[in-house]
Chain A
């Protein structure tokens, strides 16, 4: 199986909305060892001017990786998930994500580059509210290791 170079430039439309819950923010914050009270306590979040519990800076990975899953599952893509290594990641937050947000992500395959017998794939998820207001842009590169790589 090899990576289809024609993937570059492909887009996958936004799927079902992801509803950000207080409990998921608390769970994700605890799982990344965050202790900032604005992830856990409504009064603390309000004290900083947030409408509800504020998500950690990397929380959007949940939404981005759901969008990425469309690409990985695309039989035309030729991606063997067990050979995938995360190479880089960026989050640009147009505004903080807070509990109650309904988020959708459109996925764009920005770059496909052959690396030996494998490939580096750069994807961008444009995350917005269901109403179309921009919330975050995430850019991720994954290295799909070639079959004969050690």
Chain B
């Protein structure tokens, strides 16, 4: 791919958007990969007993999945030097009857990104990400700083 020319970037410019899906199998896979085995992310009974609406995605799954948009835009994952977010709404992941949980469509995460700030001196671009599930923003102040 052609490297991005920092000089051509403009504040407010969109970097693209994508829709990711997360099902129960994805949560099990993320639990294993990350070592976060909190049962609220894979056991319905436990999740509801502690007052959640159901099994919810790891906030860190959502954060990790959302930044792939930035990786694919910039090309080099190593260019992302800072990345932060607040987790505001849980992403509920249903277990629909009659489906193999590995094949279930899962909850849609709509991810978009735009350039929120440019620092000419430091040659960095701050990408502001929006992540929406079921019509609600699930990440707030999700910002990835890209070094050029």
Contacts and interface: CB of A to CB of B under 8 A. Distances in A.
B50 A90 contact: no
Interface in A92-150: 92-93, 96, 139, 145, 149-150
Nearest to A26: B33
Given A88-B84, A91-B83, A31 B76 contact: no
Nearest to A80: B50
Nearest to B62: A32
Interface string B44-79: 001000110000001111011101100110011110
16 contacts: A30-B33, A31-B30, A32-B68, A33-B20, A38-B76, A48-B76, A56-B64, A57-B83, A58-B63, A58-B83, A82-B40, A84-B38, A89-B87, A90-B82, A90-B84, A92-B81
Given A28-B64, A33-B65, A82-B50, 8 more contacts: A30-B29, A31-B26, A36-B75, A81-B38, A82-B46, A87-B87, A88-B84, A91-B84
Interface of A: 24, 27-28, 30-36, 38-39, 48-50, 54-58, 61-62, 65-66, 81-93, 96, 139, 145, 149-150
